[in-house]
Every structure is written in C-alpha cells, then in structure tokens.
Amino acid sequence: MTGSQEYGAIAGMLERGLPLVREPFAEIGARLGIPEPAVILAAREMRDSGLMRRFGAFFDHHRLGYSGYLFGANISDAGGPVIREICRIPSVTHAYGRDHKLDFWFTALFRKTGAVSRVDEICSYLGETGRPFVVLETISAIKLRPSFANSDPEPEGAAIPRFPEPCVADGRVMKTVIALSGEFELESRPFDVIAERAGIGTEELLRGAARLSDMGILRRIGASFDHYKTGWGFNSLCAASVRDISPSPAGLTGILTRPWVSHCYFRRVYYCDNRLTWPYNLYIMIHADSEYSLAERENILRGELRNNFWSDKSSDKISKSNFVSMRTTREYKKISFKME
C-alpha cells in the first residue's frame, strides 16, 4: 500500500471500531500489515488535525433507558437567541440549519423516566416564539454507522434493521458503561489506562465491554470523523412516509448497505403544530461530495422507497406527502452525549 492508502485503511479500521483486546492498535496493524507505532501515529495525526472529531465508545442509549427526540422548528432570520438558548441545553447533542420551512432541527436525549416533562419544557419554550414546530419521538435507531473514512460497502450483516427493547442496566453494566464513556488515549494499551482510572482490572474491563457489545449496548469503540474534512460536505435529512417497517424490515436493507447512508431512524409524531402537516415516520441521513452527487442519491433513495414501500410505483406520483429532502445549510452544535 502507498502512504495514502495506508492512512485510509487505518482510518477505515478506526472508524469501524477497536477489537476488544489489550493491544487493539497492534491487532489493527497486524490485520493491515502495518506496524503498531505507525497505526498510533496516524491516529494521533487525525486527532490533532481535527479530521477525527472524537475517539471513544459509542452506545445505544435507547438500550440504556434513554428516549431520543428530534425537533424541527420554523425559526427563520429571527431565531438567533432561540438557537443559542436551545444549543445551551446539555441534552441537545446536534443542531442544524436546513433548507425547509422548518429551518432549525435539533436532537435531544432524556432518561425515559423524566423525558415527557423535559420535552414539554422545550415545547413550551418553542411555543413562545409563535412559530410552527414539530417534535418526533424515536421508536428505533435502525442504522447508526457513519462511513466517512472510506466508501467501502458495509460489512455483511452490519445494516440489518433491528428493533431492540431497552435492557435492564444493572450496577455491573453501568460501571462498565461509565468506565468506557471517557476519551480514549491513543496509545498501545488504552484499556489499561481506562481500567486503572476506573479502579478495575483490564481483563475485567474487556469482559465487561464484550458483554455490552453482546447486549447491543456498546455499538463500537472508535473514531468519529469530521465529514466535511473527509470530503462528504453535502448532506440531507430525508423524511419519508412508509408503512410500519418493523414486521418486514427487509425492504430497507438495500438502502442501509449504502455507505453514504449514515443514520436511519423510525420515529412517531409526539407533537405537531396545527399549522403543519407532518406524515413522515422514516428519517434517513445521506451524504455526498457534491450537490450533483447528493441529488443523485436523493433520487436513488426515492426509487428504493417507491419500489419497496409505496403502492404507486410511478415516479411522477412522488410528492411532499410521502418524501421530503432537507439539505443541511449550517451546523450549530454537534457533541457526544454525556449520560446524566
């Protein structure tokens, strides 16, 4: 491999996630035929340059008893103070401007036990603006797999839709979750550092991490890349109205295996302003390296949805009643969620 090929291969492996072994970077190097020091050096360069936003553990918060919500509001040019106030809320992890009547979108995670009151507080605040807004509760996170390091097809089985139920997170589970929640050191034995910090043995930590992975709580431990810096600077949140996909999710498989589809959620309306019509229940985030490519991918997505979920197959019948694409115009906030 050339230097750039090595760099790309390392990035791809870091994005997919570390093997749960004591010397994970050595294991990655062995798989790629690259010395461990070169893997660690490349990872540090990615972090220091800002190419890598974060390196750490990624969890399925729904499995841990959290509820996710997506808010869309018509803020327009008068929304500066509103946007700033929303972005100050710790539970708000992502906030974007989009080219739609609802031009401000943000996500939030709350513990299920207090989620309704927290969501209602935000609804009350948005209601004071006098502008229409919609709130969507997450039913299932079907795909959470950004593939910004390369454009390889997804590994077999990686994008099979699943609808897991929340689990009972006992003290042992939460101890491991909390231990893994911090930033990982980019050094030969990162689990040793975390285990020492948590006051447990490394082997115990690795067994706990493997258990979390088997339970579907731990999605991966790896890199999150800045998609703008990796060439995926054009993206869109696509919303579609489809029949209930939980009994027969196979129709989504073709969509989910595409590397330019990073996130896919099934959501239901929690609140909708009476000035809006909002029939959409499937939300898919797509990415591209140009506006032309993004438009092509929007059309591919429409076609696959039409063939698998819409009874009327004629392309001229696809309208805003069953599909809308809302392109990103600005990123206001993007952070990793810190559990309360």
**For the domain that residue 95 is a member of, what is the CATH number?**
3.30.70.3460
What is the model's pLDDT at position 93?
Answer: 94
For residues 319 and 245, give the distance between their C-alpha atoms in angstroms, rounded to a whole number. 20
**Which domain, by its residues, includes 9?**
1-49
Would you say residue 4 lies in a domain?
A: yes
What pLDDT band is residue 136 in, cutting at 50, 70 and 90? very high
Is the residue at 176 inside a domain?
A: no
- What does the alpha-carbon distance between residue 244 and residue 249 come to, in Å, rounded to a whole number? 9
Residue 172: the pLDDT is: 77
Return the bridge partners of 284, or none. 238, 264
Q: Residues 139-147: what's their mean pLDDT?
A: 79
Do residues 71 and 29 share a domain? no
- Indicate whether 119 and 233 sit together in one domain: yes
> What's the pTM value of the predicted model, to 2 decimals?
0.88
Residue 109 lies in a domain: yes
Work out how many domains the chain is built from and give that number.
2
Residues 256 and 312 occupy one common structural domain? yes
pLDDT digits (tens, 9 = 90+) for 243-261: 766 655 677 888 888 889 9
Q: Are residues 135 and 27 in the same domain?
A: no
**Is pLDDT of 170 > 60?**
yes
Looking at the fold, whether 147 and 266 belong to one and the same domain comes out as: yes
d(CA 172, CA 203): 14
Q: Are residues 12 and 145 in the same domain?
A: no
pLDDT value of residue 89: 94
Categorise residue 258: left if φ over 0, alpha if ψ from -120 to 50, beta otherwise: beta
**Any domain includes 123:** yes
In one-letter notation, the amino acid at residue 193 is V
| Same domain flag for 21 and 106 | no
pLDDT at 163 over 70: no
Lowest mean pLDDT among 161-175, 220-234, 248-262: 161-175
* 29 and 70 co-located in one domain: no
Query: Are 45 and 86 in the same domain?
Result: no
Q: Determine the pLDDT at residue 316.
A: 46
Per the model's pLDDT, the better-predicted residue between 334 and 1 turns out to be: 334
Tell whether 238 and 151 lie within a shared domain: yes
Residue 198 falls within a domain, yes or no? no
In-domain check, residue 306: yes
Arithmetic mean of pLDDT, 9-14:
92
For residue 178, tell me if it sits in a domain.
no
For 266-294, the pLDDT digits (tens) are 999 999 999 999 999 999 999 999 999 99
pLDDT at 145: 73
* pLDDT tier for residue 235 given thresholds of 50, 70 and 90: very high
Same structural domain, 234 and 317: yes
> Is 160 domain-assigned?
no
Q: Which two tokens stand for residue 63?
A: 């499995």
Residue 156 has pLDDT above 50, yes or no: no
Q: Are residues 38 and 147 in the same domain?
A: no
